[in-house]
């Protein structure tokens, strides 16, 4: 595979991921949540979306694939650990620090652009 072909595939994957994140952000906004950050980066890693629902902070990992099952299978234990570390870093800036009400959601996007959100997903994956 040529370098140009790899770059094109990478660019397409990047844009598809960004589109999926925007679709998921709109889904949360329709539910009455406020988008606080997208692609927030801390020392512990990157969080795709951070949304607020009242006092609760929701950390969202977005996975896109042909099917919901394929998307869900792309979340690894290592990623969950990095997300938890980054979330811990993020809430240090919140008024109640580590006592901030929070949850971790996994947002799945299929090839049709449909969204399925698993709330408190880390206990289910």
What CATH number corresponds to the domain at position 79?
Answer: 3.40.1350.10
Tally the domains of the chain: 1
Give the structural domain span for 70.
Answer: 3-123
Q: Residue for token digits 């290592």?
A: 78
Q: Which two tokens stand for residue 10?
A: 């990478």
Q: What is the pLDDT of residue 122?
A: 81
Coil, strand or helix at 71: helix
pLDDT in tens, 65-95: 999 999 999 999 999 999 999 999 999 999 9
For the chain, the C-alpha Rg in angstroms (whole number) is 15
Distance CA 3, CA 24 (A): 31
Coil, strand or helix at 24: helix
User: What is the pTM (predicted TM-score) of this model?
Assistant: 0.88
Of the candidates 116, 125, 17, the one whose C-alpha atom is nearest the C-alpha of residue 76 is: 125
Task: Quote the mean pLDDT of the chain.
Answer: 91
Of the candidates 89, 81, 107, the one whose C-alpha atom is nearest the C-alpha of residue 25 is: 107
């Amino acid at each position: 595979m040529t370098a140009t072909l790899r770059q094109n595939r990478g660019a397409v994957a990047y844009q598809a991921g960004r589109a999926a994140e925007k679709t998921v952000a709109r889904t949360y906004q329709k539910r009455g949540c406020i988008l606080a950050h997208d692609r927030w980066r801390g020392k512990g890693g990157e969080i795709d979306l951070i949304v607020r629902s009242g006092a609760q902070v929701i950390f969202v990992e977005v996975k896109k694939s042909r099917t919901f099952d394929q998307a869900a299978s792309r979340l690894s234990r290592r990623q969950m650990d990095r997300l938890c570390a980054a979330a811990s870093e993020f809430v240090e800036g919140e008024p109640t620090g580590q006592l901030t009400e929070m949850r971790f959601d996994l947002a799945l996007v299929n090839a049709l652009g449909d969204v399925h959100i698993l709330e408190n997903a880390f206990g289910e994956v």
